Each structure stands twice: as C-alpha cells, then as structure tokens.
Amino acid sequence: MASSSRAFLFASLFLFSTLCYSPLICTAKGSRVSLELYYETLCPYSAEFIVNYLAKIFDNGLISIVDLNLIPYGNARVRSNGTITCQHGEYECVLNTVEACAIDAWPDLDVHFGFINCVESLVIERKYLEWESCFATTGLDPKPVLECYENGYGHELDLKYAAKTDALEPPHKYVPWVVVDGEPLYEDYENFEAYICKSYKGNNRPEVCDGVVLKMPKEKKSRNGVCHKNNVGLPDTMRIEMVI
C-alpha cells in the first residue's frame, strides 16, 4: 500500500508540475522570446536604446512575451592582470559594475530595469555623475548595490559578463548589440519589437504585435548609431566626438 500510494503521489506531483492550469500564463512563459542586450553604460546609443526603445515594451505589454537579459559590458576588455578597461573611460567601468550589481541585487526585471533606465536617462542628459540620485528616484535601497560594488563581488559579475560577451557567436561588432532568439539584429536594432513579434510562436499574441511592422531601411530617417568595438584605445576627447 505504501509503495503504490507513494507512486501515486509522485505521479500527481509530476502532473501538477508539468500541466498548465492557467493556459494564458503558461503559454506565454513556455514560448517567450529571448531578448539580450549587450551594452556599455556610457555609449550614448546604448543609453538611447534603453531609455527610448526598450522602456516602451514595459508599457505596451510586449514584455509579457519577452525574456529580457541585460549584459552591461560591451566593448570593455579584461587585461592580463584581471583588471578591466572600458571604452569610455574609468567612469564607464564604474557604471557597468553598478548596473551589474543592480541586476544581481534585484533579480526582478521590473526593479533592476527601473534603476538602469534611470541611470541611462542621466547618461543621455550628461548628468551621469549624479547616478546615485537614482536610488531616491526609484525608492530603492542603495546598500546592496554599494556593497556589491565595494566588496569586489561587482568585479566578479563584470568578469562573468565579459565571458558571456566574448562567447557571442557571431561576435559582437558594436553596441548596442541586440540579440533576439539568438540572432543579432545588427544595425536594425530599432526594429526589435517586430523581430520579437515575428519570433513569437505562442498563443495570446499581445495586441501590440498587431501594430508593429518591420520598417524597411529606406523608410528610416537614418541608420541607427553604434559604438564600435575598435574605438578602444582612442584618446577620450576624440572618442567623445566620434560616438556622440
């Protein structure tokens, strides 16, 4: 009796864990489209993508079919002694680490995205030295992020993101490097919503997908800006002229 009831229990647990009792939620979860953003904090085009494009999907409902991952490293390099150099100077390394710490401290996407969106808005306004004001803006506790930054854990997170970025296939050429279901969008990243809708194979297509169409390159005002990988090593002033 004991063994058959145990078998029954396991069978029921198995069914409970695999069946979908709420088709709406389950379908969306199982078939979410993966969206990865490889970026660096001070590249103005990364900042604009986050603030002016990515933030929109939290309002228009597209986020319900997206599995979003932010990878704040971009065109940085790990030196042979383990320290990291960043494309837009030391302060970019500070903010890359801060944002990596935010993702770790608040695994809830809505929470860490809110903070990162705030910091990147300051980058656009060229007020990023005031990034700590984003704790107050978002109402988040500074402690976990500041501790992570100061105790060296943030550096470990940077190395993890460095490894993830360097393992990209095909390798990234610039940032923002937007990857939908494993495929980079190259300079067509502004169309990311259309690619997401196209990739989505689940039911309950969000309404926003009905209104999203791929814009052809000639309809666009101009090519989207990027921060190229090979700009590393230029003097800071020159880099600023080139990328902004």
Ligand X SMILES: *[C@@H]1O[C@H](CO)[C@@H](O)[C@H](O)[C@H]1NC(C)=O
End-to-end CA distance of the chain: 74
What is the CA angle 109-115-33, rounded to 5?
Answer: 30
Closest residue to ligand X, Cβ-based? 81
Cβ 55 to ligand X shortest distance, Å: 36
233 lies in the site for ligand X, by CB under 6 A: no
Give me 35's structure tokens.
Answer: 């969206």
Cβ 82 to ligand X shortest distance, Å: 7
The set of residues, in sequence order, having a beta carbon less than 8 Å from that of 165 and lying 6+ positions away, is 38, 71, 73, 74, 172
83 lies in the site for ligand X, by CB under 6 A: yes
Q: How many residues bind ligand X (CB under 6 A)?
A: 3
152 lies in the site for ligand X, by CB under 6 A: no
79 lies in the site for ligand X, by CB under 6 A: yes
**Candidate ranges 57-65, 77-85, 141-149, 178-186; the one touching ligand X (CB under 6 A):** 77-85
Q: Which is nearer to ligand X, 48 or 92 (CB)?
A: 92
Residue 184's DSSP bridge partners are 179
Give the type of residue at 178. Answer: V
81 lies in the site for ligand X, by CB under 6 A: yes
Q: Which is nearer to ligand X, 81 or 237 (CB)?
A: 81
Cβ 83 to ligand X shortest distance, Å: 5
Name the site residues for ligand X (rule: CB under 6 A): 79, 81, 83
